[in-house]
């Protein structure tokens, strides 16, 4: 195994464990049956929102908090499990990028330089992009076996 493969494997497992734990915490906190935590955060963001952030909150986030709370909790847990198993890791990486961008669209950081002031969002997006481009699920993951049937698939 090459050094690069080990590094990508460690990155995939670390990001997978992080997202699985965050998703499980949200599930255990009741996000599947109660959207109050999400509504509270979105309402707080709305107080200072301007421009596209305000539009995003009014049209996308605030009208559907019950749907979003379930999708966020289950999505984070599913991304984590997928990365840990190396199953559909490319697809999960794209979903992870979408999830992080939506979070920062809601809190307003996406529309300003504050997106880069706290490096975590940009770092997580770059990590997901690296996992996507490297086909990380093929390195000690179930995608390796899926690639045997169709090596040119977008998903693995």
pLDDT at 145: 95
pLDDT at 45: 93
Angle at 71 between CA 93 and CA 112, to 5 degrees: 65
pLDDT at 150: 85
In the chain, where the domains are located: 3-149
CA 111: distance to chain centroid? 19
Q: Is the pTM of this model over 0.75?
A: yes
pLDDT per position in the chain (156 positions), as tens? 789 999 999 999 999 999 999 999 999 999 999 999 999 999 999 999 999 999 999 999 999 999 999 999 999 999 999 999 999 999 999 999 999 999 999 988 888 777 777 778 889 999 999 999 999 999 999 999 999 988 788 888
Q: How far apart are CA 106 and CA 42, in angstroms?
A: 7
**Please, which contacts does 90-94 make with residues 24 or more away whose CB atoms are closer than 8 Å?**
90/131, 90/132, 90/135, 90/136, 90/137, 90/143, 90/154, 90/155, 90/156, 91/154, 91/155, 93/128, 93/129, 93/131, 93/132, 93/136, 94/128, 94/132
Q: Taking the C-alpha atoms of 132, 128, 130 and 7 in order, what is their torsion angle to the nearest 10 degrees?
A: -110
């Amino acid at each position: 195994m090459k050094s690069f493969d080990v590094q990508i494997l460690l990155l995939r497992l670390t990001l997978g464990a992080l997202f699985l734990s965050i998703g499980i915490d949200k599930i255990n906190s009741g996000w599947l049956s109660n959207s109050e935590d999400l509504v509270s955060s979105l309402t707080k963001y709305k107080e200072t929102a301007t421009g596209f952030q305000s539009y995003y909150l009014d049209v996308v986030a605030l009208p559907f908090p019950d749907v979003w709370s379930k999708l966020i909790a289950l999505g984070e847990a599913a991304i984590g499990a997928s990365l840990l198993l190396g199953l559909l890791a490319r697809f999960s990486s794209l979903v992870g990028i979408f999830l992080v961008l939506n979070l920062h669209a809601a809190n307003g950081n996406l529309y300003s330089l504050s997106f880069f002031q706290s490096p975590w969002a940009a770092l997580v997006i770059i990590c997901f992009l690296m996992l996507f481009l490297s086909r990380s699920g093929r390195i000690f993951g179930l995608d390796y076996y899926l690639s045997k049937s169709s090596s040119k698939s977008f998903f693995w």
